[in-house]
Every structure is written in structure tokens, then in C-alpha cells.
Chains A and B, each alone.
Chain A
Amino acid sequence: MPPRLCSLCGTAKAIIKRPKTGSQVCKDCFFEVFETEVHNTIIENGGIFKRGDKVAIGASGGKDSTVLAHVMSTLNQRYDYGLDLFLLSIDEGITGYRDDSLETVKQNQIEYGLPLKILSYDELYGWTMDKIVSQIGKKNNCTFCGVFRRQALDRGAAQLGVSHIVTGHNADDIAETVLMNIMRGDIARLSRCTALVTESEDTIKRSKPFKYAYEKEIVMYAYFKKLTYFSTECIYSPDAYRGHARVFLKDLEAIRPSAIIDIIHSGETFQLDEDVKSGMKALQNCLRCGYISSNDLCKACALLEGLEQGLDKSAIKTSQEGAGTAPTGQRTIPFYNRAAAKEEIAI
């Protein structure tokens, strides 16, 4: 069988069948078309960055963020975005997992010459995931980790003085999240999980340049570019609910690859009824730590209070109604002052 030729240049041997389009392309055309599509995501609707922006790349050492760091550095140079890029990693304190993956991030730091900041749960909350799991058990530990990570990224970004965080969430991740929000009936999250950029008054702008990039292409890109990444499953059992959504989505993709982009499109076109919107809780600042919250206490402060009380798995149910001062003797999260961080970096 003669080699199939690239459908773009028509000369080189095709090496990948693109899941989004079904077209077959050669290695050089694949690199170019993958990078150009990410660039198009970045510049669509007026663009997600401004010249001179300080941007943190949320870096875990995994495949998505490793490829994101590579592509962001490449595009920043090629198209002269004029961005000041940083790597921001969160150390959850998981021995044998995160400590190893952070080594990959340190390699990225050297390869791309980007400054790296690592912020640990231990530093911020006084708890590592190892310690949390030893107290609450493995069940639901992902909730603690997820809530703590989100806030840690914002706080790390504020410390770096950046105005924007980019994360490696890819099309498959977003389609999964759409499915999960539908299955949980989480209307508020459903309405915002497909947004390219999210920003509320008091949090740092976040965006997902890989929103339309298929996981298959990200992994193939890493393979052909010989990028090394860390790919061990978290030792504290994966998020079981997401796991099911993921397997379901992969099964759909095997039958019809466009399913992923179609689900994202469905998520984008959901329109929230005004009545539903007005019934949602307004955002305020956490009375205890100042972070954005829809309750008196933000979820992280409530979870931390549960841990500090020495609760087992019931720590997850700690009330978000509460006072600004924590019960005596308990550790609290440092006060989050976005405005101060903003002023500090004003040039």
C-alpha cells in the first residue's frame, strides 16, 4: 500500500487522522494546523490577551499543561503577543505523585526559560493532601483537592502579580464537564463551563486556549515533539464521577469523533432563563478570608474549619454559614486581597 499523502500539502506522508475533521495530515502540517488553531482561539472575538499582560500558565507537569507551556511560548514569539509568561504550579502535598510531577515542571522552566512559582497547600492551608486523606479517608478527597487548588491558583497568581491564568483544559475535559453538570443538574456551572474566558470581579481572569483542542491531538503533539510529561494516576483514586463521564465520552468519540466538539457546542448554546438566573445566589466576599464566594464562608474556609475540628469524612459537610472569625485556635487561610495585588503590579 503506497503511503497516504497529507491532505494539506499533498506531498508528505500523512501521520495522523485528525479527530475533529477526519482529514489526514503530515507531521509538519499537523504542528502548523494545531498551533494555528490555538492561535485562532486566542485571538477570536478581539483576543483574550493584551500586549504586556503578565500571564501565568497553570502547570502540573501533565500532558496538557506541558504542551500548553510549549505552545504558549511558541505562539508568543511567533505572533509577538508581547506577553510576560510565568509557570505556576500547585503542590498539593501528595508524596510519590505531585513531588515527581513537579520535577517535570522544573524541566519546563529550564527549557522555555520561564520563571516558576510553586505554591503549596501546606503553606497556604497548613494541610497537605497526605494529611487530609489520613484524617478523612479517600472518599471525596477530590472535593477538598479541587476546592483548594482553585483558590491556590488565584492566590499564587496574585502573588506573582499576573492578571491572567491560562490552564490546559482541553476539548475532551470541557465536554466531560458539560456532561457532568447536566447529570448533576448544576445549572450555574453548566452556563459558564464552556466559556473561553471566565472572570468575576474579584478573581483573576482565566482562560482555556485548548478549549477546541482534542486530547488525541495534544498527546500526538507531545509525542511527535518529544515533549516529556508526567502521566501517573493520582494515588488517591481518581474522581469516580468524572471517570464515568470520561469513559462514556471516549466511547462516543470512538463511534463519532465530532461528539466532543458537538457537546461543547450544546453547552455553549444553553440559554439560562431570567427567572433561573435571578434565583441564583449573588457573589460576595468570604467573611473570613476575603475570597469570592456565594455564601458567608467560601468553600475552602468551610472545609478547612471541618479539618481543623478534627472531623472525618463529614468535614465535607461543614456549613458555609458562619462568622468572620474562626473558632479559637483554628488555622485560617491568609486574607485574599486582589485589589492590593493589582496595585502592587501597576506600572
Chain B
Amino acid sequence: MTTAVEQLNQETPLPKGKSAAVEQISIRLEFGGGLHLLFNSQPKHQVSLPKRISEDETEAGDDKAVTVKYLIKWMKDNLLSERVEMFGDGDGVRPGILVLINDTDWELEGELDYQLQENDEVVFISTLHGG
């Protein structure tokens, strides 16, 4: 497993200003219900995040494991290609967007506080479009 992580670190550009020593994990993202239109019209993405983050969950650090809250902020800053209010609401997502973590409703997984692990899959589906 560690070799996979090391390889990923070599291949993936790191966020600006972060040293190469920050250990990263790889997360799979998927968008449904028309949400991909907000993310460069691509339904699937693979991203890498720092494995550990700061206490206030805003940057890489060594206080806690990376959370979904960090992921959503990261997505708003780095991945979102359209208006932020179509996706985010406060620290979370707009009401009406469903989130699944490894095919389980995030409401059963601690929502924003869920601690992400290597190769987790997070799916976002909008319920807000057409009937």
C-alpha cells in the first residue's frame, strides 16, 4: 500500500507552498444529477489531499485525519468551475445535494466529520434538476 501512496505523491502536483514531505491520500469523486456541469463537465475525478490536516481543518497539518469538511472546501477552491452557491452552503453542500461515501449515505457516516481514507469514493448527486 505504501508504494502506491509514494507513487501517487510523485505523480500528483502538490498544492502551492506545501513541501513534498506532506503525505497525500487519493480520493475518487463522482458527480451525478447534472452536478458535473459545475466541475468542468467531468463526471469523475481523482484528487489527492493531505493525509493529515490542521485543527481548524483549513490546511495541511498534523492535528487530525483529513475530513469531508476539508474536502468540500478544497473542492470549492480547486475544482469548482462554476458559481460556488450552486454547490456549497456554509461548510457543507447546498440542501438538495446528496452525498454518498463509499456508496453509503453520508448521514450515516458523520457527514462533514467523516475521516477520509486512501481510495475512498465520494459521490455528489443533485436532486435539484428536472422531474
Q: Do A and B bind each other?
A: yes
Interchain nearest-CB distance for B86 vs A (Å): 10
Say if the beta carbon of A296 comes within 8 Å of chain B. Answer: no
Say if the beta carbon of A220 comes within 8 Å of chain B. Answer: yes
Which of B3-11, B62-70, B102-110 touches A?
A: B102-110
A219-B33 in contact (CB<8A): yes
Say if the beta carbon of B125 comes within 8 Å of chain A. Answer: yes
A14 to B107 Cα, complex, angstroms? 11
Instruction: State the interface size on chain A (CB cutoff 8 A).
Output: 36
A172 to B33 Cα, complex, angstroms? 16
Task: Using A16-B105, A173-B131 as known contacts, list a sample of 6 further A-B pairs with CB atoms less than 8 Å apart, ordered by residue number in A.
Answer: A13-B104, A17-B105, A63-B127, A220-B105, A250-B94, A251-B95
B96-A250 in contact (CB<8A): yes
Interchain nearest-CB distance for B79 vs A (Å): 20
Q: Restricting to A195-234, which residues have a CB under 8 Å from any CB of B?
A: 215-216, 218-220, 223-224, 230-234
Say if the beta carbon of A254 comes within 8 Å of chain B. Answer: yes
* Residues A60 and B96 in contact in the complex (CB < 8 Å), given A16-B105, A17-B108, A231-B34: no
A16-B32 in contact (CB<8A): no
B131-A63 in contact (CB<8A): yes
Say if the beta carbon of A288 comes within 8 Å of chain B. Answer: no
A231: which of B95, B108, B123, B129 is its contact (CB, 8 Å)?
A: B129
A13 to B100 Cα, complex, angstroms? 14
Interchain nearest-CB distance for A205 vs B (Å): 20
A231-B105 in contact (CB<8A): no
Question: Which chain A residues border B32 with CB–CB below 8 Å?
Answer: 223, 231
B125-A219 in contact (CB<8A): yes
* Residues A231 and B100 in contact in the complex (CB < 8 Å), given A173-B131, A250-B95: no
A246 to B127 Cα, complex, angstroms? 11
* Residues A219 and B127 in contact in the complex (CB < 8 Å), given A4-B108, A17-B108, A250-B95: yes
A251 to B94 Cα, complex, angstroms? 9
A60-B130 in contact (CB<8A): yes
Question: Which chain A residues border B100 with CB–CB below 8 Å?
Answer: 223
A15-B105 in contact (CB<8A): yes
A15-B104 in contact (CB<8A): yes
Least CB separation from B115: chain A residue: A1
Least CB separation from A61: chain B residue: B130
Question: Which chain A residues border B84 with CB–CB below 8 Å?
Answer: none
A271 to B94 Cα, complex, angstroms? 35
A14-B131 in contact (CB<8A): no
In the complex, the 7 A-B pairs of residues with the closest C-beta atoms, listed nearest first: A250-B95, A231-B34, A17-B107, A62-B130, A64-B131, A254-B95, A16-B105
A169 to B108 Cα, complex, angstroms? 27
Least CB separation from A210: chain B residue: B131
A123 to B125 Cα, complex, angstroms? 36
* Residues A246 and B128 in contact in the complex (CB < 8 Å), given A231-B33, A233-B34, A253-B95: yes
